[in-house]
Amino acid sequence: MLQLLLISTLPAFTLMLVAPAATHKHCKLVRELGLVALLLARELLHHSASAACAWGGEGGGSSNKERERERGVRIMPSKAKPEPALAAREEGEEGTEAELNAAALPLLDLPELALERVLEELEPPSLAAMACVCVALRDRCSADTLWGRHVNRKWGRVLGAAARKEWEAELAARRSSGALPRPARRRSLADSLACAWPFSWITCRWLKGNAVAAEPAAATPSPLPSPATDTVAAWYRAVECGEFSFPAQVYNREDGHVGFVLSCYDAHLRYDRRTDTFTARYPPHGRKPAKEESGVQWSRVRSPPVSTPAHDLHASGCLGDLRPGDHFEIQWRKNKDFPYGWWYGVVGHQETCNANEHLCRCHEDDMVVLEFKHYAAGSRWRQTTVSRKDHREKGDETDGFYGGIRKLQTSDEISTWRKFWPVDVLN
């Protein structure tokens, strides 16, 4: 038996050693043939051991019976040990019976509302895996209503109307160019054997073919199965797997750069599942090339609150409502070749006003005082004024150009800006 086992396993280990030195074209075939040989050797060893145990049990049993007959001792048959489920029912364990009944109930036989509730509780990876079970579950688990909840729950704060519009434009471009989704990888010989022979020691690393992971499998979440391209599930998967970069805005561009404190700039973001962060690509500034910033945290990302492009002047509709103490965002750029960024500030009082809330008439003045209090008093960036009635872009190449204004309406927006307040006053 040992000789037969060595003869069957020796070619397998030989193929395993030769596989790394083989050419790329034949490397996968050699490795799979080696795996087949290992599988056959393991099967042979398993069946041989089973046969040996059965043969030894039968031989030992006959000799014992002969000895007992010679001694004249009658062997009394032992009482069969009851099965665990039957013993539990005899002891009155109703919980076990209920669990058995629940396990025997098919999922698709559940009432409609109960099944929907079960699917709503599944996380995205589990929901995607459930869609691969059968056709009926595939249709249910791919419903836009289910995946819409997951999109809003995880991406609602960073995905806006602009991101959805770009995704639809990308789908339209694929249809017009006739681009089809990438076909699934053909099943290899090892894949087929893994389905036919349930061996637990065949790990996912063997079944990946020539794809070698750069990091341990536990560090990188498994990707979701690919759904239909025109569904919300496909949009979720494209964002989650980093296959789709979407427009958003990033607070404090180039984190740590003093020139962008309390600002928010447009960028295209790509999600990285391994680090749970984003990579931001900012548009070029004049002749300067586009810059990328990796490791952008969730707290620094927001969906654009307005649809105004970064190079266009925002139409200010709130100038008549601005009063001292109101919080705002204003467009600013260094020169006219640069895109606008949004900068945080507070409406201030006129020089002639004593800042008394009962006597203040600053809201009736044609000019609005805009203060940026994170700059020191006397700094040229500390304060500026704009006209309420005829506001347009104002400024020069020295102090930059101020554009449209947007009044902050909610305490959440204000508190988000305040979280980025610098420790030291800027000059």
Inside any domain, residue 119: no
pTM equals 0.65
Inside any domain, residue 166: no
Which residues, in sequence order, are bridge partners of residue 266? 249
pLDDT < 70 regions, the chain: 1-39, 42, 46-47, 49-105, 178-228, 256
How, if at all, do strands 341-348 and 367-371 pair? Answer: antiparallel
Inside any domain, residue 379: yes
Write out the E strands in 173-326: 246-251, 263-272, 277-282, 291-296, 301-302
Q: Tokens for 19, please give them.
A: 């596989």
Give the model confidence (pLDDT) of 198-246 as tens digits: 333 333 333 333 333 444 444 455 555 556 677 899 999 999 999 999 9
Selection from 20, 267, 17, 49 nearest residue 160 by Cα: 267
Contact 264/341 with Cβ under 8 angstroms? Answer: yes
Predicted local confidence at residue 36, as pLDDT? 65
Inside any domain, residue 62: no
Q: What angle, 0 to 180 degrees and rounded to 10, lies between the N-to-C axes of helices 24-71 and 189-196? A: 20
Inside any domain, residue 76: no
Count structural domains, the chain: 1
Read off φ and ψ for residue 180, nearest 5 degrees.
-105, 155
Q: How far is CA 60 from CA 52, 69, 79, in A?
A: 12, 14, 21
Inside any domain, residue 111: no
Q: How far is CA 345 from the centre of its chain?
A: 34
Task: Note down the domain range covering 363.
Answer: 326-420
Predicted local confidence at residue 300, as pLDDT? 96
Inside any domain, residue 204: no
Which residues, in sequence order, are bridge partners of residue 303? none
Inside any domain, residue 387: yes
